[in-house]
Structures are given as structure tokens and as C-alpha cells.
Copies of this chain bind each other. A is one copy, B any other.
Amino acid sequence: MRVMGVDPGLTRCGLGVVDGSTGRPLHMAAVGVLRTPAEDETAARLVLIERGIEEWLDTYRPDAVAVERVFSQHNIRTVMGTAQASAVAMLCAARRGLPVALHTPSEVKAAVTGSGRADKAQVGAMVTRLLRLDAPPRPADAADALALAICHIWRAPAHDRLSRARAAAYPGSGAPRPKGTIRS
């Protein structure tokens, strides 16, 4: 399976595409970072991120998209931008019918290093080793996006079982329709 990992952010949005399956060697298809100018308005920056992610989805055609789950324990301004960029990534994927998975930073660290409290350098080192790269991808957001994709490839079997169980428990929720009222 091919997974695109997204480490969301307005200033730097890390993207990484990895091919692989549980117990097989992993292969990096692409890695990069989308950047948007800090002096632009948020709405314009979100449009740039949408355009960039759409280009990546068109080019690499992943089977699933893994996005970092946003927490708000950090700086408040950063968290808002991260939440907004992650919304665009989820939207782009779900609009195409691609499965979207959210993984927490500690799930990702635990998946690639064995410890949920590993630091950036350790994650970068393991991503380099697992993908047999010459050097850790820079910036860290790019390495994190690859780590997210790897985490998803390794967790996907369990995740799929959960999704199937949830679909069985809530049968009509698979095909949602907008409920809205318009009054003129």
C-alpha cells in the first residue's frame, strides 16, 4: 500500500509518501515541504496548501492519507494554524474518497523508534534507516511526514479491523448527507 503522511502546518507542511506493507521493506516515493508566506492572510495560505496537497495526491495517488492529530498543549497561535492546515489535508483526501487516519505524535514516535517520547533526532535517524536513505530528510517536518506514513502502514491492519467493527456497530453512517436548512 502507498501512504501519504502529512505533518500539517501553515508555515511548513511536511509531506511524505511511502510504499510498503507490514513485515516487508519500506520504500520512499517522495518527500517535501509546502511553505506559505507568513505575511499572507490565513485564507490565502489555506488555498496554497490545498493546491499543493492536490498536486501531491494527483502525482503520487496514495491509497490512504495519514495526518498528525493536533493537540493544543503548544503555543495557541501555532495550534490554530496546525488545526486549519490539517483540516485542508483531511478535506482533500476525504473528497477523493481516500481513507484518512489520524495518528498522535506519540503513536508515530512509538511506531518508528519504539518509544513514544523519542526526540526529533531519533525519529529522523530511524526514518533514515527504515527507508534506507543517505541522510535524514530536512526539515524535521519532512521526516515527520515520512514517520507518519510508516506508522500508518504498520498500524493499518489494526486500524482496518477497528473501522470495520465501527461500521458494523453504526450501520447507516457510511454515506453521510448534509443536513441544512435554508430560509429566504
Interface flag for A84 (CB, 8 Å): yes
Instruction: Please determine whether A176 and B40 come into contact, CB atoms closer than 8 angstroms.
Output: yes
Q: How many A residues, CB 8 Å from partner?
A: 55
Within 8 A of B (CB), among A39-71: 39-52, 55-56, 59, 70
> What residue in chain B is nearest A85 (Cβ atoms)?
B87
Assess A43 versus B88: contact at CB under 8 Å? Given A30-B184, A36-B176, A179-B34: no
Contact B50 A95 (CB under 8 A): yes
Q: Judge whether A102 is part of the interface by a CB distance below 8 angstroms.
A: yes
The count of identical subunits is 2
Residue of A32, A46, A87 most packed against chain B (CB within 10 A): A87
Given known pairs A52-B178, A173-B37, A176-B37, the reply for A87 and B46 (CB within 8 Å) is: yes
**Min C-beta distance of A104 to chain B, whole Å:** 13
Q: A72 in the interface, Cβ–Cβ < 8 Å?
A: yes
Name the residue on B nearest A42 (C-beta): B90
| 25 cross-chain CB contacts under 8 A | A30-B183, A34-B178, A34-B179, A35-B178, A35-B180, A36-B179, A37-B176, A39-B173, A43-B91, A44-B94, A46-B87, A48-B176, A50-B95, A51-B178, A55-B178, A55-B180, A56-B182, A59-B182, A72-B72, A83-B84, A83-B87, A84-B84, A84-B86, A84-B87, A91-B91
